[in-house]
Structure 1
Amino acid sequence: MKVSLEIIAGVVVIAAITLASTVFAPLALALFIIALVWPMQCVLQARIPKLLALAITLLVTLAVGVAFASLVAWGFGRVVRPLINDAARYQATYNSIVAWLDGHGVSIAGLWAEHFNVRWMLRTTQLVTGRVNTTLSFWLIALVYLMLGLLEVEEVRHKIRALDNREVARVLLDGSAATAARFRRYILVRTLMSLLTGMFVAAFAWVAGLQFAVEWGVIAFALNYIPFIGPFIATLFPTLLAMTQFDSWQEVLIVFVCLNVIQFVIGSYIEPRISGNMLSISPSLVLFSTLLWTFLWGFFGTFIGVPIAIAVLSFCAQHPSTRWFAELFGGSKRRTKLTSDLPARL
């Protein structure tokens, strides 16, 4: 009965989060940003009035967000138009591949050809990449959450410390501190790896003679913040362009393979060694979180899924009854101990 009630409660919570995404998605974004910018807010308000420090923090945050969005819009705007213009050529290429498969007995290719349309696929891709949750209401709600949250952090901390249940207070305080520290480490590592990925992709595109080399580097930089899905898209788009620019399929295959090698080496070899034990998290949990929150919240869920998983692991590591979950999906006992000891060392 207890397990059944827990399952039902979980389903109800997920349904509520999905139906009320207009409220919860901006809140999640605001909490994530608060964890990133709170050290700057603390330094500023120790030297100047609190409201002035808040204004400076918000302005810096908005400036960074606008600069990043403008960079992404510039990169996609430059490369999507040629892809749309060459849609007919992509359709012809696909039809020739279908004909070749049919000639070799792969009959299902004919069924795909009846329903597959490259122009429709490109239009859909353009729509998805253009929206990116940029509705005015979403960002306004997130901005209000961010402003009020920065004003109330200290007050909420004092209220938690005053709780009669000392164990709950300890879990909330230590879990929040661990989560915020891991968020900052996560975004730092992601930014460094994104810069490295963008530079290598741009350099390879320039050496290979691929058009829009700088733009492909910018796109790879931006999409690297999204686990799994982002690198796949950053590899797919240049390959599509290479299909119209190069005459032989061998050159297209080389572009595809080299881009995947860059993504694999940086994402699967360099990044885990730089991030170290602090961000220890199971790859299966990363993939599950990315897919789950993408399903619940769309494109924004793709970005916020991993931070939510990091927060869940950080809080689970603070209590004996849930520590098993952090140990199971967060790495070895040594890594869990490092995460649990983080608030004390901070």
Structure 2
Amino acid sequence: MGDGSGQKVATVIIAVVLVGAAASQARSVLAPLAAALFIIAIVWPAQKWLQSWMPKLAALAITMLVTVAVCLAFASLAAWGFGRVGHFLVADAGRYQTFYERAVVWLDGHGIEVASLWAEHFNVGWLLRATQYVTGRVNTTLSFWLIALVYVVLGLLEVEDAKRRIDRLENATATRVLCHGSAATAAKFRKYLLVRTQMSAVTGLLVGLFAGVTGLPFAFEWGVIAFVLNYIPFIGPFIATLFPTLLAMTQFESWPAVFGVFACLNIIQFVVGSYVEPRVAGNTLSISPFIVLFAIFLWTFLWGLFGTFIGVPITLALLTFCGEHPSTRWLAELLGGPADAKRAKL
């Protein structure tokens, strides 16, 4: 009996590793599909409501226009904030040059030759490689979202047909799992996006207030940037912390003040992103806060930047479907949050 259980556990572990490796290798195909399914789950209620008032294609056109407009609005907010700060940094380039020269002199005096390292590593070849990398990433991102949008259009057209095909399945258990699991997953996706928006708003507000109290220029812009970038866990908050710190270097001209700005911004990001949000998400979405953080790290490892954003929704979907079937319900209960624990007691 013990050997049989051990073999089952080993088989499950091997299967999970193989599925993870396959997901990593097929991310160029699976990642746009995951993004499309997430978007479809978010916008389907609006599409369904519009279809009750107008033809399906007209409703689809309005839904897609609104979806793209919202995405462009968020991107425009970040571009506006960085553009405002960027113009100021260009105009203040002389102060940064002075700061750099002082730092080089201080480091040279302590035996660290920055100028030689800079000349050795940051040359024209490095700039060309960096430019090629950035250009390639931009092209990849554009292709990714173009494919995802095509999936969204086709998926919204087939949601009702897919439901009818599922209802006609002879396996009643499969029909129940797919129908209930899909509906519950879509509802959790919408709750997740709502929680993410709320936590992003709190982060942006705290960052903007902190910048205003400390006298850091562009307090409102830093708040907007923190709000938008907080939708990308870990990487977005890091960027939203790094740039205000760089600005503080020339504004305060005091290392303790600069380190204070850096530390306080990181405390805000850590408290909201790593403490408050996982608990709010866990209570709202019935998922363990530990699993929330683990999902972010795992899917970032597998799919990079996009996996950072979509990791929690994918994990939510997996646990939700596990909870719909008796043989895997134990896994959803084991990894569920406080809400699941309360239901289990009842």
TM (normalized to structure 2)?
Answer: 0.80
**1:39 aligns to what?**
45
Supply the AA of the counterpart residue of 1:31.
Answer: L
* 1:96 Cα offset (Å): 4.6
**2:220 aligns to what?**
214
Q: Is the 8 A contact 2:281 2:287 kept in 1?
A: no
The correspondence for 2:323, drawn from 306, 310, 317, is 317
**2:18 aligns to what?**
12
**2:4 aligns to what?**
none
**1:335 aligns to what?**
340
* 1:138 Cα offset (Å): 1.3
* 1:26 Cα offset (Å): 0.8
* 1:314 Cα offset (Å): 1.4
**1:173 aligns to what?**
179
* 1:94 Cα offset (Å): 8.2
Do the aligned partners of residues 219 and 304 (structure 1) sit closer, same or farther apart at CA in structure 2, a change above 3 Å counting?
same
Supply the AA of the counterpart residue of 2:322.
Answer: C
* 1:259 Cα offset (Å): 1.9
**1:203 aligns to what?**
209
The correspondence for 2:168, drawn from 136, 152, 162, is 162
The correspondence for 2:257, drawn from 246, 251, 255, is 251
Do the aligned partners of residues 202 and 90 (structure 1) sit closer, same or farther apart at CA in structure 2, a change above 3 Å counting?
farther
**1:277 aligns to what?**
283
* 1:22 Cα offset (Å): 1.9
Supply the distance in 2 between the matched residues of 1:4 and 1:303 (Cα, whole angstroms). Answer: 30
After alignment, is 199-208 or 269-278 more displaced? 269-278
The aligned runs of 1:1-346 (5 Å cut-off) are: 1-79=7-85, 82=89, 86=96, 89=99, 93=103, 96=106, 131=137, 135-267=141-273, 271=277, 277-332=283-338, 334-335=339-340
For these two proteins, the number of residue pairs brought into alignment is 329
SS in 2 for 1:317: helix
Do the aligned partners of residues 96 and 3 (structure 1) sit closer, same or farther apart at CA in structure 2, a change above 3 Å counting?
farther
Do the aligned partners of residues 91 and 309 (structure 1) sit closer, same or farther apart at CA in structure 2, a change above 3 Å counting?
farther
Do the aligned partners of residues 304 and 194 (structure 1) sit closer, same or farther apart at CA in structure 2, a change above 3 Å counting?
same
Residue ranges of structure 2 left out of the alignment (5+ in a row): 1-6
Supply the AA of the counterpart residue of 2:175.
Answer: A
SS in 1 for 2:196: helix
Deviations along 1:208-259, one digit per CA (max 9) or x if unpaired, are: 2212323211221012112333323322321232123212222123312332
Supply the distance in 1 between the matched residues of 2:135 and 2:341 (Cα, whole angstroms). Answer: 37
Supply the distance in 2 between the matched residues of 1:219 and 1:130 (Cα, whole angstroms). Answer: 24
Seq. identity, %: 62
Supply the distance in 2 between the matched residues of 1:52 and 1:60 (Cα, whole angstroms). Answer: 12
Deviations along 1:55-114, one digit per CA (max 9) or x if unpaired, are: 1111110111111122223333444673996488469648857976x8xxxxxx99xx96
Q: Is the 8 A contact 1:223 1:231 kept in 2?
A: yes
Do the aligned partners of residues 78 and 232 (structure 1) sit closer, same or farther apart at CA in structure 2, a change above 3 Å counting?
same
Q: Is the 8 A contact 1:133 1:300 kept in 2?
A: no
Supply the AA of the counterpart residue of 1:137.
Answer: S
Q: Is the 8 A contact 1:201 1:216 kept in 2?
A: yes
Deviations along 1:293-321, one digit per CA (max 9) or x if unpaired, are: 22222211111111111112211222232
SS in 2 for 1:48: coil
Q: Is the 8 A contact 1:87 1:118 kept in 2?
A: no
Q: Which has the larger radius of gyration?
A: 2
Deviations along 1:241-299, one digit per CA (max 9) or x if unpaired, are: 21232122221233123323433444456546755722233333222222222222221
